Structures are given as C-alpha cells and as structure tokens.
Structure 1
Amino acid sequence: MTGKIWLQLIGIFCSLKDSSLEETGVLDCLDKEPDYRYLVYAGEFVYLQCSPSKLLIKAEKNTVEWFIQKPDRSLKEVKRRNDLIIHDNGALQISTLERNHSGTYLCRMKNLCRKMIVRVEGKENCSTYGPKSFFFRITEAPTTLSCPSLSCQGDIKRNVTWYRNETFANVTSKNRFSVKINNNDIQFSELFTEDVGIYTCDYVFHDSSEEEWIMRATIQVSVDIPDTEEPPKILSSSNGTEIPAELGKPTELKCRIHFGYERYFNPVIKWTVLHPEVKVEHSGGRNLCLNNTSGLTGYECLFTIKLDKVTKNDLLTIFQCYAQNSVGNVTTTFKLSKKESDVVFLIYILSASVALLLVTLICAGTVYVYWVEIVLLYRHYLSKDETIGDNKDFDAFISYATQTSEYGEEITDNFCNNYEDERFATQLLPSVLEDNYNYKLCILERDILPGGAYVEDIAKIIKRSRRAIFILSQRYITGPRLFELQAAITCSLEEQDSLKLILIKLKPFKEPESLPHIVKKALRALPTVSWKGDLNSKPAHTSKFWKRIRYYMPVKKCKENVRI
C-alpha cells in the first residue's frame, strides 16, 4: 500500500513539472529551428548568451532559466555546478568544454525562448588554433589580440565580432580610446589592469551541408607590470632617529616601508630589540600593507609595536626595523629619549601664539581702516602715471543738474538746491582736483562749445574721458541730465576697464519708479561717495571724502608733492 502511494506522488510531481515546462513555453522551442549554432573546441572556456545584450540589461536577476535536451527529448534544467554556471545577467558559462557538452540548449527569459545547438570538436581538427590565454606586461604595449580559431576555417576572410566578459559588452566604446579593432584584431595602444578579462570572438561560416554556424572562441587576458628590481625603502623614520617618550607612559614605534611591485608579494617585516645584554626578535606587532592609488607601483606597509609602559631600561635599548623582499633587505634603528613635561615651555608657546594672533588682528584692522591712505601712499611714490599714452583728453567728465534744463527752460522750483549742485560741480571739484592734484576735468558749460547733435557729443566726450563723475541729487535723478549717466553706463560696458564711473551722493534722494533698470542696477553696483561737508567753508583737500575721490581717480603725478 505504501509503495503505491509513493508511485502516485512521484507521478503527480512529474506531471506538475511537465505542466510547469509547458507554461513557460520551453517545450515549444523543441520543434522550432535553432536560433544559433555554435562550433567550439574542447578544452576551451565559453559563454552562451540567452538574448542580445540590450534585452539582457533589462532582465532582472534570476529570471533566466537554462535547459539541456536529453536524447529522449526530455529537458533537464541546468543547475549551478563546477563546470556550468548561470550568471545574473543570464549568460551560461561552461568552464572547460568537453565533447559531452555537445547538444541542444534552451533558455527562457520572461516570454522569450531561445534554442541553440552547441557542437564541441577536438583541437586535432585545427592544428593552427591560437593560444587561449595571454599574460601581458604593461610595458609591452602596444599589443595585438587575434581570434585563435580564425585560421581553422581556411584563408577565407571573415568578419569577426568581439565581446568582453559575460556581459557581452562591446570591446570598443567612447570611454576606451586605447582599444581599437583593426583587421579583425584587437589593438591595445595602452594596457591597464582594467583590460583583464575573457574576450570572446565570433564569426560565421558554412559547413559542407551549407548550414550556418557561429565559430566561437575565447581568450583569457591578464595584465601586469614587471616585478621590482630594488629592495624595500624605509620611508620613516630615518636611521638613528630618537623618539621622545615619557617614563611610565605608553608609546608606539612606527616603521613605514615602501615595497616595489611584485606579482607574488610576500614581504618579511620584523622588529629586533637590542638590550644591553640580550637580543630579542619580534615578528608580531601590527602590520598594515596597502596598495598605492594606482595599485601597480608597489605597496606601503606600516609596522608598529607598542610599549605599554616606558622604563629606564627602554631608554638604553636600540630598536631595529627590518624589511625584506625577493630582491634584498633594509634596516633602520630607533632609540627612545627621555621627554620632560615642560609646563613653562608650554606657557611660552601659548603666550607667543596669543601675541601673534593679536598682532595679526591689529595689523588686519589697521589695513582695513587705512586702506585708502595706504593705496594713495603707494601710488604717490611707486606707481606710474597711467594717463600717459592712453589717448584720452580728460581725466574726468562731470555731470550734474544745472539751473536750467537742456532746452533753455528756466527751472524755478528748488532753485537753491540746483545752485548748490552747480556750485559743487563747477567750483568745489575743480578747486580741489584741478588746483591741488593736477587733474583735468570736463565741465560741459565751461569746456565744450555749444551746438551740434547734443546726445552724440555727450557720448563722444565721455569716451574721451578716463572717469565719469556724477553729482547725484533729487533734481538730477528726475531731471533731463540723467541721460548722461545712461550714456556713461553704456560706454563703460563697451570700454570695459578703460572707463570707470564715480557717484557722489550730494544729498539724499528717492528713486522714481520710472528710473531705467540699467540706472537702478548701476546705483547699487558703482562706487558711491557721500558728501557731508559745507560748501561755504574752505575745502580741506586732505579730508577723507577727497581721499576716497582720489582713490577712484586715475593715477596721475602731481606737479609738486602734496600731502597724502
């Protein structure tokens, strides 16, 4: 009774398994024509892809299934074992091909089913089969890689397609400028450690029955550099170094060593403690060896021993660091010196640091406060006259609100305010800048003859000037002379560093809503100097206001020395 039950269960399991295969659509592939026919040689390493790489990239992990067709047309699912491996991207890897690997393979991915025939032949049929692995040194570039099976099908010219690793990525790409395909061969102009891997080459040929086959072969490429020809080097500390240590306190002795590159890196590092009466070797301690950033020029090792408590006997001891590679060895020695805790010295260091900080802050504050004076002093004694040879006629163009408008209409309101603007521009500015500092100002009513196209003349005069000074007030901002500021802004953008604008805020003013955007932007960006003096008193040309005006003016030598 029990045997019958087991037979029924086995039958149910087999029927469920067969129905599962039918649901996946794998059984439908048995009667279809093969999608691919591969010819490979025994003893090789090969990858089989289930689908073109574009589809494989979109596939989720563990969604690809592989099956092998048995002689009785039943299907056996491929499970992971030593010689058969299914990668996450769906590729089937056969590590070492044997004749019993010949047969029909089916794979399923989502709703896609592929059928392929694999035929494994012995290499006795191709005596010219190339090597299946290469080991290149970095110094051997440029290097050429040829498809090993290309000569097995005669001298007929084939079109070879190359892939790299199980992802079946194209060998050449925009990011790999050192790799090119030339006459079916891979050419490396430079070799890098990233070039290692399995390279697969495919080409199509027809057998005697005119069936189309894909000849597939693989090459294992390894890249390395020559082993070092030099012994290790001690990076720190140098031979005979004395390391300060406090009695009764723990301390560490560190030996930093550089080893040249070796493919089979097996260093020997040890400490030797030479007491007055005994010699002790320590191969313990902490040893940390790391590759450098490129991974090819060697290793840097830090070997450390720790003394839990420094004793007087340790001060008489010589510590020796020994390093050895396959080429030779190197040794360096250390000694401990007594370190006294010096509180007074610490106080001196702290006091000097505080004093230095205070001096630095005072100097920085002085420079910040007297920056304008420092610059003027430097200009007076060291700078060259920048007005020589610049083909400019005036040092500064003066723009201000006049008593009358540009069209001869008398202005009656705020007459005193307008008159103050004109007094500042035509009397005070020349009395300081021209009489004391040899600057040549351009005042329209004084220096330019009337007549002509006024707007065009203003632009030309501004371009003939090194600076443009604007006396700002409520009357100026809302008056017709504002167009001179607009013209100067346009000229400064065209002239770039040749023309600079200076704003003098004579009195507070309110910006009208109709003010052009370019003027609003200039009022916030251009240097502005506020006037707080009295027009009725004698001007002090050495005041801070006039120093700032001179700071923005061009460097020009005075006829005689003046006070800074």
Structure 2
Amino acid sequence: MSEPNNEKIRTACGSPLNKSCRVHVPGSGFQTVVVSWWRQKEGEDELISFTASDRVHQASRTKKVENGEELEQLLHFTKVNEEDFSSTYVCRVSSDKGQLNGNFTLQQPDPDLRAHSALVFVVLVLLFTMGTATFTLLKIDMALWCRGTFPHLYPKPGADGKAYDAYVVYPGMCAAGSSGQNEGQSRGEVFALHTLPLVLEKHCGYKLFIYGRDSLPGEAMVDSIRENITKSSHFLLLYTASTFCKRGGAGGMARTDGHLLFAQQMGVHCALVEETLRVLLVELEEVTDYSAFPESLLHLRRKQGALQWWRLGGAGGGAGEMQLRPSSRFWKQVRYHMPPRGRSEAYLEKEGTLLNV
C-alpha cells in the first residue's frame, strides 16, 4: 500500500475532496484482493457506501502493470461536512496473504494569518491615529492640568535666574500715541499695553518687560533692549501685516521702527544662534504677504508656527469677554508655552469670572 499513509489532510468545510487508496499486487494469475474504505468513529467501523449518488462514496479501479496489478480505491466527498472532521477514514486491503491498513483524518485549514495580520495592522493604525489626534487636541489641556495638580514637579519662579518671564516687542513700541500711527500699530499697542498685562500679569502672575512702559527715561535704547532681553526667559514678538513694511518719513525717505527691528534681530539671534531664549510669535491680524518680513523671522515661523490672536482671540485686540479669559483657547496656548507661574493652572481652568479691566 503506497497511500494513505496515516496522514492528516487539511480541507475547508463545504469543499469537495478525493482521496485514493493505492495498492500494488505483485505476481500473475488470479488473486483475490479486496480493497475498501471504512469510516471509524468512536470505536465503531462503518463501511462507506458504493452508491455514486451518496455524498460520500467509494469506487474501484484496476490497472495491469508489468509485474502485477495496481489497485486504486477512490474515496469521494461531494462536499465535506462538519461531522467528517471527527472521523478516521481507513483503507483495508485483505487477501489470502494477509491484511494491510492505511488511514487519514480530516482537519480544518489553519486560519489565514495574512487576513488576521492585516486586520491587526488596520486596528493598530486606527488606534495610533486616534491617539495622536487626541493627544494633539488635548496636550495643552493635559499639560496645564499637570502644572496645577503637580506644581512640585516644575521649577519654582526665578529658578533660571531670569528677572522677567518675557520681553515684549510690539508694533509702535517707541511711538505710542503718535499721530502717524496706522490701525495696525494701534492694535499692537492696545494688545501689548493693556490686554497682555491684564491677563498674563494681573491674573496669571507672569512678570513682563514691556519697552516704553518699564524702560527708564533717558536710558539708551540699545543698552536697555540688550540688557533686558538677557534678563528674560521668553521673547514675545507681536506683529501685524504692516509691522515690517517700510513707511514714508520726512522728505519722502523710507523709515522703519528701529527699536522694534533691533529688538527683533537680537531676540531671534538669541533664540536661533545662542539658544538662550525662547521666542513666541503672536500674529495680531491675518497676514497674506510676508515679502517684507525678515528672513530670520520667516524661518522661525516655519519652524515653530505663530499664535494667531486674530483667529483664536478676536479681532481688534480689545477687551471682549472671551478675549480676557485665561481659560480661552488663545490664552491656553500662551500659558502652555510660558513657564508655570502665579495662580494654579487648575484654578484658572475652573474659574469662569470675567477679568476686571
């Protein structure tokens, strides 16, 4: 007997199956050899039907070969059912010289690992995407909550040796109230001199240096800017669409705000070259043309982005209700980039009262 050889055959439920029992009978002349298929289940043997119309049946074929006969008993499953997997199929060969047995069992195929792997991969990608999106949306709230809940994990105010939390640079910082200011300059001054101190200093406890407000009368501009920038841990640069545009001066000569440009250049230099200062860009109004902006400032904006007051805070830099709430979206972003200071961050999140102007 060449087959079956006590083997296990994997097949899917519902599929057809053929299995042969091959027996070589050597010699010549008439020999009585009986080949048949039996089903063995729970210790009982059952002869499989020879009727071709049955779902499981057997048929025989005989072929003469050079040195004897080749007998083949074919077992045919029209459709494999679930019950077929619990049986053993035995091919029995009987003759006057003895008996041979060979068998096989049916097993269901292994699960498609490729399909399972693809499903697992898709689930992991979805979880990663959802986790990343959730973290992006909630990272600021989580950071502010941690500051308020575990304040001992963060450095105490002044631990870095800096006198100010931020040095504020804004449009028109040296010409407040002059008649030549445009609307963009007035917006910058209102935000820098009123809105910013009201929220960050009065309510959040930060200490800001605002040129024109905190500088000493008669003090040299260059020395004052250089000295107080080095005393600050952050650099708040407020700008509008026209901040870095040249404006016509006396005699038609072009002029720019020299104080602002010098402070901007020094602050960006400390941030990009010396890495001793962290810059926060605050865009007070929508800017569509950046052609007049310094290249260093554009590089910084591409690298870290800008906080858009006009989009998140409100147009005009005024003192509307939501514009003055530390728990509003814009001020959350500012507080996130600033060091932990003043009142508990958790308290600021819960407080719903409007600041008094």
Are the aligned partners of 1:438 and 1:559 in contact in 2 as well (CA < 8 Å)?
no
Output the amino acid matched with 1:247. Answer: I
- Tell me which amino acid in the other structure corresponds to 1:394: Y
- Amino acid in the other structure paired with 1:545: F
TM-superposed deviation, 1:432: 1.4
Match runs of 1:133-148 below 5 Å:
none
Aligned to 2:219, what secondary structure does the other structure show? coil
**Deviation of 1:474 (Å):** 3.5
Letter aligned with residue 502 of structure 1: L
Distance 2:295 2:118 in 1: 56
Q: Aligned pair 1:377/2:145, yes or no? A: yes
- Match runs of 1:397-408 below 5 Å: 397-402=167-172, 405=175
1:543 counterpart residue number: 328
Closer/same/farther in 2, CA of residues 403 and 410 from structure 1, 3 Å limit = farther
Q: Decide which of 240, 243, 247 is 2:9's aligned counterpart.
A: 247
Match 2:165 to one of 372, 392, 395: 395
The answer to whether the 8 A contact 2:284-2:308 is kept is: yes
Partner of 1:434: 201
Q: How high is the TM-score relative to the length of structure 2? A: 0.55
Does the 8 Å CA contact 1:501/1:526 hold for their aligned counterparts?
A: no
Gap change, CA 1:403 and 1:350, over 3 Å in 2: closer
The match for 2:266 is 487
| 2:280 corresponds to | 502
Output the CA distance in 2 between the equivalents of 1:524 and 1:248.
60
User: Conserved in 1, the CA contact under 8 Å of 2:326 and 2:349?
Assistant: no
Trace 1:128-527 onto structure 2 (pairs within 5 A).
246-247=8-9, 340-341=108-109, 358-382=126-150, 383-385=153-155, 387-402=157-172, 405=175, 410-414=178-182, 416-478=183-245, 479-480=256-257, 481-493=260-272, 495-496=274-275, 498-509=276-287, 510-513=289-292, 515-527=293-305
TM-score (norm 1): 0.36
Q: Which runs of 5+ in 2 are unaligned?
A: 1-6, 12-86, 90-104, 246-255, 351-357
Distance 1:339 1:436, change over 3 A: farther
Q: Deviations over 1:344-401 (max 9, x none)?
A: 9999998777656544432232112222222322333344136442110000111112
Matched residue count: 233
Report if the CA contact (8 A) 2:10-2:109 is conserved. Answer: no
In structure 1, distance between residues paired with 2:212 and 2:199: 19
Alpha-carbon distance in structure 2 between the residues aligned to 1:339 and 1:438: 74
Q: Alpha-carbon deviation of 1:248?
A: 5.2
Q: Percent identity?
A: 25
AA at the equivalent of 1:424? F
Write the distance in 2 (CA, Å) between the matches of 1:379 and 1:339: 60
Structure 1 residues 405 and 499 mapped into 2: Cα distance closer, same or farther (>3 Å)? same
Higher RCO (CA < 8 A, seq sep 6+): 2
Q: Aligned to 2:308, which of 511, 527, 530?
A: 530
Letter in 1 for 2:166: A
Structure 1 residues 246, 372: closer, same or farther in 2, change over 3 A?
Answer: farther
Q: d(CA) in 2 for partners of 1:470 and 1:523? A: 11
- Quote how far apart the aligned CAs of 1:469 are: 0.4
Call closer, same or farther: CA 1:489–1:563 in 2, change over 3 Å.
Answer: same
Instruction: Measure, in 1, the Cα distance between the counterparts of 2:187 and 2:206.
Output: 22
Residue-by-residue CA offset, 1:463-508 (whole Å, 9 max, x unaligned) = 1001010111144323411221101112224541x31001111123
Measure the CA separation in 1 of the matches of 2:209 and 2:325: 22
Q: In structure 2, how many angstroms separate the alpha carbons of the residues matched to 1:529 and 1:563?
A: 20
1:60-71 alignment runs, 5 A limit = none
In structure 1, what residue type is equivalent to 2:320?
S
Q: Once the 2 structures are TM-superposed, how far is the Cα of residue 554 of structure 1 from its aligned partner?
A: 1.8
Q: Counterparts in 2 of 1:70-149, with a 5 A limit?
A: none
Q: State which structure, 1 or 2, has the greater radius of gyration over its C-alpha atoms.
A: 1
Task: From the two aligned structures, give the one with the greater strand fraction.
Answer: 1
Query: 1:462 touches 1:468 (CA, 8 Å); kept in 2?
Result: yes
Give the Å deviation of 1:451: 2.0
The residue identity in structure 1 corresponding to 2:9 is L
* Cα offset, 1:338, TM superposition: 8.3
Check whether the contact 1:396–1:468 (CA below 8 A) recurs between aligned residues. Answer: yes
- Label 1:353 to 1:526 Cα distance change in 2 as closer, same or farther (>3 A): closer
Q: Per the alignment, do residues 404 and 367 of structure 1 end up closer, same or farther by CA in structure 2, a change over 3 Å counting?
A: closer
Q: Shift in Å at residue 527 of structure 1? A: 3.2
C-alpha distance in structure 2 between counterparts of 1:344 and 1:520, whole Å: 53
Unaligned runs of 5+ in 1: 1-244, 250-310, 314-336
Q: Contact between 2:241 and 2:286, CA under 8 Å: does it hold in 1? A: yes
RMSD, matched Cα: 3.9
Q: Find the aligned partners of 2:337 and 2:270 in 1 and give their Cα distance.
A: 18
Work out the CA distance in 2 between the residues paired with 1:489 and 1:347.
53
Letter in 2 for 1:527: G
Q: Secondary structure at the residue paired with 1:427?
A: helix
CA distance in 2, matches of 1:348, 1:519: 50
Match of 2:65 in 1: none
